[in-house]
């Protein structure tokens, strides 16, 4: 059962984050992240990955979590969870609910993610 949860979590983590999950036994925090956050929360069909992504982008932007926000924005574009225009609208919405200072970081992260996405789509 735990192996199944680990495998589901590892697959979903790679799908959501774009990076492979660390091996099992890497530490309790990492194991919980893979097995619980990705194996149970992100893999729960009650919300589609895109829906969870929108929630997470809003939360990370509101918190000013630049490193995770940029990674989630880039992967959201890559997976086509959002369009570049929708990413801009997320930033505008965050500005009005969480404040302009928080949204400046989100705006910068969105710009970097959109630039990387545009370059990647030009290459094929």
Domain ranges of the chain: 2-42, 49-123
Which pLDDT belongs to residue 123? Answer: 85
Q: Summarize pLDDT for 66-116 with one digit per residue, the tens.
A: 889 999 999 999 999 999 999 999 999 999 999 998 899 999 999 999 999
The pTM (predicted TM-score) of the whole model is 0.88
The DSSP line for 20-50 is PPPPTTS-HHHHHIIIIIIIIIIT-TTS-HH
CATH code linked to domain 49-123: 1.20.1290
């Amino acid at each position: 059962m735990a192996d199944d949860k680990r495998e589901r979590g590892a697959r979903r983590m790679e799908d959501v984050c774009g990076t492979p999950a660390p091996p099992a036994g890497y530490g309790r925090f990492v194991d919980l992240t893979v097995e619980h956050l990705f194996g149970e929360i992100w893999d729960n069909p009650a919300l589609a990955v895109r829906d969870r992504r929108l929630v997470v982008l809003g939360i990370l932007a509101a918190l000013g979590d630049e490193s995770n926000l940029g990674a989630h924005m880039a992967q959201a574009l890559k997976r086509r969870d959002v369009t570049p225009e929708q990413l801009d609208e997320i930033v505008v919405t965050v500005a009005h609910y969480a404040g302009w200072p928080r949204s400046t970081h989100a705006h910068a992260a969105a710009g970097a993610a959109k630039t990387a996405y545009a370059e990647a789509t030009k290459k094929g």
